[in-house]
Structure 1
Amino acid sequence: MKDQETVSITQMGTLYFAYVTGSALIIIPGPLVTMALNAAWVSILISLSVGLLLLNIMFYLHRLHPGLTFIGYSNKTIGRWPTVILACLILTMAFHMASGIIIDVSAFMTSMMLPETPDYVFMGLLYLLVAFLIRGGIESMARMFSMLVIVVMIFWALVLLLLLPQYHPEFLRPVFPEGLKPALLGSYLTFGFPYGEVVLFTMLLPFARAKQSKPLKKALIWAMLANGAVLIISTLCTIMELGPMASEKKYSIFVTAQMVEVGDIIERIEAVVGMAMIAGSLMKATITVYIIQLIITEVFKLRNDRLLTNPLCVTTFLLALTLPDSLQEWEEMVLVVHPLWVAGVYVLPLLIVAAAAFYKDMFTDPDKEAVASKNIPEGGGA
């Protein structure tokens, strides 16, 4: 790409943290406790391990082909037309994600904060912000998201700290009230959202100002570990605060914020927390749509990728309006279909390209072949 923008390693780590944390902070704890019960934190650890493995595979490809995105890796290893097929599969999930994030935000706003406001008001305003952010480029996104991540984390930590006197650690026992099966079921959920989705982030790795891949890899690993810690702490605090009711509350962080009461001074801070959670979802939606734009640009070899910004935002807006027939059907899709979909169109293509790259790296070294051909005398060897 000509005049490619770049961001620092710290900013790339912040973008990655915003991407994997984003909407998961407000969506994951409630359904996860419903599925895994008190072993919800074990489920996060299992899926986090899978996410770290995927991250290592991503950096193996990045080390072999520095400066290229996933589409570039695939073109060099398996050819153009197989790459086009994989890109089309990836885009199905990417569009589902870009619309689904805003659907979740709209469902949160209409059920918890402004129930009489139509969905299209929230969706339209959020996609308008997404379009403005993408048009600013990845550098401005990285600078802005660095501040937003700090704000979101401050309000998240503030709520959990103010609730310290109300925690009941005894609610954490037993860890496996119904055996190991619920924990594995919960890890299935968190594998699909958010840890299986990290594969899509390979499109942004070339934008990091890093001469070597090791510092960037270290930054992203720390960002993923921080995300795991945030989700585990949120889940544990939800269980300790709500107890048996934790499995019945959909937006558990927001619900716990409603319980904050410090004298007559600090109370009813859930509105501020809700806006912070929406900011997290906005960051993830922006990064997802930006990656969709990059994939289409590379597949069709377009010169000006920003011409796609407005059409993509309108497309995802229309998908968000029409995709779910009901919220119950949407929840079933996210909890049951989403992880399988992620495995099929994100993880499987990554493994295919990584296997092809490993085969070429091990058995078809071009440097060795060039040296061997120079050592063969003219007219044949024997």
Structure 2
Amino acid sequence: MREEGYISPRQAAVLLWFAVLPTAILFLPALLALRSRQDAWLAVVVASVAASVVALVVYLLAQRFPHYTLFQYCELILGPVIGKMMAFIFVLAFFLLDAVVIREFSEFLVTAVMPETPALFFSLSIVAVAVYAARNGLEVIARCTEFILPLMVTFVAIVILFATPEMMPRNILPIMENGLRPVLGGALVAWSFLGQIFILATYGAFVNPPRALGTSLFSGLLGIAFFLSLATMGTILVFGSSQAARLTFAAYNLARVVALGQFLERIEVLFLAIWVGGVFIKITLNLYVVALGLATVTGLKEYRSLVASLGALNVAVSNLLYRNITEIRQDLLLLEPGWTLTWQLILPLFLLIMAWLRGKRRTGA
């Protein structure tokens, strides 16, 4: 099966931003401060270079199989049985990723904003809207980003600009005081977020024109690296690495320090509104990908009938994954890097090598 309609290369790149940035900006600066101390921003740079390998693998696969999704060319490369098994692994990986994002969303709102409200209420609310959007297709999801993106860019610029008086350059010095090892440790943590650009392999078949997919991949990765580096460096400059490492939601705390006399205060409310919009796009895109992949694996001609059921199952699984925000942080630090390295790099690289060895390629849909 395939989606109806196409998106532009620019929309594909922006979707990549929203596939990574909403949760990465919220959680990553504090986690990197814990792992890499004042070199946290450098860990983002190293992870971005490593993520370019994923971008290259996705691009090479897309060139061999234009107009085919990841789930379709798994079968073309590995055959009907093993190929479907591999495709299902990717479906399961995106499903678990979406469940984690849903839980991160609800835990943030409960921890930082409304502690008396059950987390399940927030999960059900965001997924109900995501189900509606996912059923309307990729074009609708891409158009939603065009409204939220200018708000996000403007807000980040305002926060960094007005937080400048609180920044102390000595907080990022000395650079690489403890050598390369802490930087690499932080880069591995950052990888679990940046590697998510692999999602473009699932909807790259709908980018028009197909030859512009490389531009979408690398411009998307460049934008992600820029915003993450900016947010991480801003956090370290304002709070210092020791204090930043103790913050659960460093970017949210960074927005809270912004004040311009009596004129501009409490802009964390705007952060909250824009962040919720960004997470909505991320959850919706992942839900769409899971439904599309499962429909492909099972041979259905229509993915929309699966969306509501998968959304409900996502909420149930997200509620079972963790007990609290501490477990989420531990998972992001210890488990996610190895798991994401497996399915976002090793398995795609295996597909590319097998396609090359077996001489598999297609020139059209």
CA distance in 1, matches of 2:327, 2:15: 31
1:321 paired to 2:315: no
Q: Which residue of 2 aligns with 1:169?
A: 169
1:288 paired to 2:321: no
Is the 1:35–1:185 contact (alpha carbons within 8 Å) kept by the matching residues of 2?
yes
CA distance in 2, matches of 1:125, 1:246: 31
CA distance in 1, matches of 2:7, 2:272: 29
Residues 285-321 of structure 1, C-alpha deviations (whole Å, 9 max, x = no match): 1111111111101111101110001001000011111
Q: Which residue of 2 aligns with 1:189?
A: 189
Q: Which amino acid is the alignment partner of residue 136 of structure 1?
A: N
CA distance in 2, matches of 1:120, 1:6: 35
Q: Which amino acid is the alignment partner of residue 291 of structure 1?
A: V
| CA separation of 1:3 and 1:74: change in aligned 2, threshold 3 A | closer
| CA separation of 1:2 and 1:222: change in aligned 2, threshold 3 A | closer
Q: Which residue of 1 aligns with 2:235?
A: 238
Q: Percent identity over the alignment?
A: 21
Is the 2:18–2:278 contact (alpha carbons within 8 Å) kept by the matching residues of 1?
yes
Q: Which amino acid is the alignment partner of residue 125 of structure 1?
A: S
1:348 paired to 2:346: yes
Aligned residue pair count: 362
Q: Which amino acid is the alignment partner of residue 102 of structure 1?
A: I
Taking the TM superposition and a 5 Å limit, the aligned residue runs for 1:40-55 are 40-55=40-55
Q: Which amino acid is the alignment partner of residue 310 of structure 1?
A: A
Q: Which residue of 2 aligns with 1:87?
A: 87
Residue 261 of structure 1 aligns to a residue in which SS? coil
Q: Which residue of 2 aligns with 1:96?
A: 96
CA distance in 2, matches of 1:105, 1:119: 9
Residue 22 of structure 1 aligns to a residue in which SS? helix
Residue 267 of structure 1 aligns to a residue in which SS? coil
CA distance in 2, matches of 1:92, 1:137: 20
Q: What runs of 5+ residues in structure 1 fail to find an aligned partner?
A: 367-382
1:278 paired to 2:276: yes
Is the 1:16–1:201 contact (alpha carbons within 8 Å) kept by the matching residues of 2?
yes
CA distance in 2, matches of 1:298, 1:196: 23
Q: Which residue of 1 aligns with 2:10?
A: 10
Q: Which residue of 1 aligns with 2:66?
A: 66
Is the 1:25–1:277 contact (alpha carbons within 8 Å) kept by the matching residues of 2?
no
Q: Which amino acid is the alignment partner of residue 227 of structure 1?
A: I
| CA separation of 1:184 and 1:309: change in aligned 2, threshold 3 A | same
1:269 paired to 2:267: yes
1:339 paired to 2:337: yes
Q: Which residue of 2 aligns with 1:370?
A: none
Residue 358 of structure 2 aligns to a residue in which SS? helix
1:226 paired to 2:239: no
Residues 166-218 of structure 1, C-alpha deviations (whole Å, 9 max, x = no match): 211111101223322111110110111x12222232010011111x42x2211
Q: Which amino acid is the alignment partner of residue 100 of structure 1?
A: V
Residues 253-286 of structure 1, C-alpha deviations (whole Å, 9 max, x = no match): 1101111111111111111112212222221111
Residues 324-374 of structure 1, C-alpha deviations (whole Å, 9 max, x = no match): 13332232222211111112233222111100111133xx899xxxxxxxx
CA distance in 2, matches of 1:207, 1:365: 18
CA distance in 1, matches of 2:162, 2:361: 59
| CA separation of 1:335 and 1:2: change in aligned 2, threshold 3 A | closer
| CA separation of 1:178 and 1:296: change in aligned 2, threshold 3 A | same
Taking the TM superposition and a 5 Å limit, the aligned residue runs for 1:358-373 are 358-361=356-359
| CA separation of 1:325 and 1:254: change in aligned 2, threshold 3 A | closer
CA distance in 1, matches of 2:108, 2:271: 12
Q: Which residue of 1 aligns with 2:22?
A: 22
Is the 2:43–2:190 contact (alpha carbons within 8 Å) kept by the matching residues of 1?
yes
Q: Which residue of 1 aligns with 2:128?
A: 128
CA distance in 1, matches of 2:80, 2:343: 17
Q: Which residue of 1 aligns with 2:198?
A: 199
Q: Which amino acid is the alignment partner of residue 139 of structure 2?
A: E
RMSD (Å), alpha carbons: 1.8
Is the 2:52–2:218 contact (alpha carbons within 8 Å) kept by the matching residues of 1?
yes
How many angstroms does 1:92 deviate by?
3.0
CA distance in 2, matches of 1:67, 1:44: 32
Q: Which has the larger radius of gyration?
A: 1
How many angstroms does 1:128 deviate by?
0.8
CA distance in 2, matches of 1:345, 1:13: 21
Q: What runs of 5+ residues in structure 2 fail to find an aligned partner?
A: none
Is the 2:76–2:83 contact (alpha carbons within 8 Å) kept by the matching residues of 1?
no
Is the 2:64–2:361 contact (alpha carbons within 8 Å) kept by the matching residues of 1?
no
Is the 2:74–2:87 contact (alpha carbons within 8 Å) kept by the matching residues of 1?
no
How many angstroms does 1:104 deviate by?
1.0
Is the 1:22–1:282 contact (alpha carbons within 8 Å) kept by the matching residues of 2?
no
| CA separation of 1:2 and 1:103: change in aligned 2, threshold 3 A | closer
Is the 2:22–2:279 contact (alpha carbons within 8 Å) kept by the matching residues of 1?
yes
Moved over 4 A (4+): none
CA distance in 2, matches of 1:168, 1:76: 55
Q: Which residue of 1 aligns with 2:144?
A: 144
Q: Which amino acid is the alignment partner of residue 80 of structure 1?
A: P
Q: Which residue of 2 aligns with 1:251?
A: 249
Is the 1:23–1:278 contact (alpha carbons within 8 Å) kept by the matching residues of 2?
no
How many angstroms does 1:2 deviate by?
6.0
CA distance in 2, matches of 1:264, 1:3: 51
Match of residue 298, structure 2, among 282, 290, 300: 300
